[in-house]
Amino acid sequence: MRLFIFGVGYTAQALIEAHRPLFSRIGGTVRTDDKARALRGRGVAAHVLNGTAVSDSLLRDISDADAILAGIPPGEAGDPALSLLLSGGVEMHARWVGYLSTVGVYGDHGGAWVDEMSPAVTRVPRSLRRLAAEESWRALAAAAGARGLVFRLPGIYGPGRNTLRDLATGTARNIVKDGQVFNRAHVADIAAAIAAAIRDETADGIYNVADDEPAAQGEVVAFAAGLLGVTPPAPVDFATAELSDMVRSFHLENKRVANARLKTLPGFRLTYPTYREGLAALHAQGEGRTATAALSRITP
């Protein structure tokens, strides 16, 4: 199977590394020449897509793909990958189209459980753009006679991007808001879910790719601190915390994301069903420990 990825970022790279045998060829886009060269060195036919002229080789790779995975966040001007495909400049032959979205489209449900049938009531502009992109990608797939899938993702963590590292570098924060919980997903589980949905010829529609246990931020920070043997940062009340607009908007929405449909994918299971298994595995791999040791050596 030939895979083409719009936006070869953190999640897509995890898919490539863990599930490369699924694909006879992998192509994709990045925004800079440096990133393209690095991916080519790893056997990925990488192209730069940054608003400049589109190469014939890029159009050819898109047209030849059996499966397309899109993960570029739409901006105010829309989704550049969709714009390219809808321009008529490339003929798409893929029979599988997947889009990486966000559970943010559900909006605030007051801490109640949501599933794929729950209404998307977000009022956040970037989540509204994601919702519009979901609909457009599914419509594009339907028009091409392809299966159209949407993977709604929560907070993503994994190697190099996790609370252990944040604690070790002093960037972890413990924002407290009464009753607030978040789902998370280890990047390896997301990659496995995408691979399972590619293998299963009946998979279609929307999937919440989330862990089993929505939890407060403070619980995760405390657990990670315990693994490292350090004191967690002091709690900071949400009402008085100095936060960016983006971080603040995350805390304005509260929901618990159900993943029962995800678990119907044949051969799929969560390797890290909660943050505890995920962080413990990352700690065993050395995440956060080197930096913590260095800090302890210079701390009086």
61 shares a domain with 174: no
What is the per-residue pLDDT for 297?
Answer: 39
Q: With respect to residue 297, please indicate whether it lies within any of the assigned structural domains.
A: no
Mean pLDDT confidence for 3-22: 97
User: CA-to-CA distance for 227 and 164, rounded, in angstroms?
Assistant: 8
Quick one: pLDDT band at residue 298, thresholds 50, 70, 90?
very low
Mean pLDDT confidence for 64-83: 94
- Asked if residue 47 lies in contact with residue 223, where contact means CB atoms within 8 angstroms, the answer is no
- Asked if residue 90 lies in contact with residue 84, where contact means CB atoms within 8 angstroms, the answer is yes
What is the per-residue pLDDT for 42?
Answer: 95
Tens of pLDDT, residues 85-104: 988 778 899 999 999 999 99
Q: With respect to residue 77, please indicate whether it lies within any of the assigned structural domains.
A: yes
Q: With respect to residue 261, please indicate whether it lies within any of the assigned structural domains.
A: no
Range in 36-40, 176-180, 248-252, 269-273 with the lowest mean pLDDT = 248-252
**Domain range spanning residue 244?**
163-181+214-255+273-291
Q: Would you tell me how many other CB atoms lie within 10 Å of the CB of residue 126?
A: 15
170 shares a domain with 104: no
Q: With respect to residue 262, please indicate whether it lies within any of the assigned structural domains.
A: no
Q: With respect to residue 266, please indicate whether it lies within any of the assigned structural domains.
A: no
93 shares a domain with 76: yes
Q: With respect to residue 264, please indicate whether it lies within any of the assigned structural domains.
A: no
82 shares a domain with 57: yes
What is the per-residue pLDDT for 292?
Answer: 54
**Helix segments in 93-124, DSSP class H:** none
Mean pLDDT confidence for 199-205: 96
Q: Of 109, 290, 287, which Cα lies nearest the Cα of 208? A: 109
Q: Of 232, 252, 248, 247, which Cα lies nearest the Cα of 166? A: 232
- Asked if residue 116 lies in contact with residue 208, where contact means CB atoms within 8 angstroms, the answer is yes
Quick one: pLDDT band at residue 245, thresholds 50, 70, 90?
confident
124 shares a domain with 223: no
Give the largest CA-CA distance in the chain.
65
Mean pLDDT confidence for 112-127: 96
Mean pLDDT confidence for 170-189: 95
Distances in Å between the Cα of 179 and the Cα atoms of 105, 238, 239, 246, 284 are: 20, 12, 14, 20, 31
Q: With respect to residue 263, please indicate whether it lies within any of the assigned structural domains.
A: no
Q: Which residue type, as a one-letter code, is found at position 8?
A: V
CATH number of the domain encompassing residue 117: 3.40.50.720
189 shares a domain with 283: no
14 shares a domain with 83: yes
221 shares a domain with 78: no
Tens of pLDDT, residues 15-53: 999 999 999 999 999 999 999 999 999 999 999 998 777
Structure tokens at 49: 């897509």
- Work out the percent of the chain whose per-residue pLDDT is above 70: 96
241 shares a domain with 99: no
Burial degree of 131 (CB within 10 A; 0-12, 13-18, 19+):
buried
Number of domains comprising the chain: 2
238 shares a domain with 125: no
Q: Is the dihedral of CA 15, 16, 18, 24 positive or negative?
A: positive
100 shares a domain with 172: no
Q: With respect to residue 298, please indicate whether it lies within any of the assigned structural domains.
A: no
115 shares a domain with 47: yes
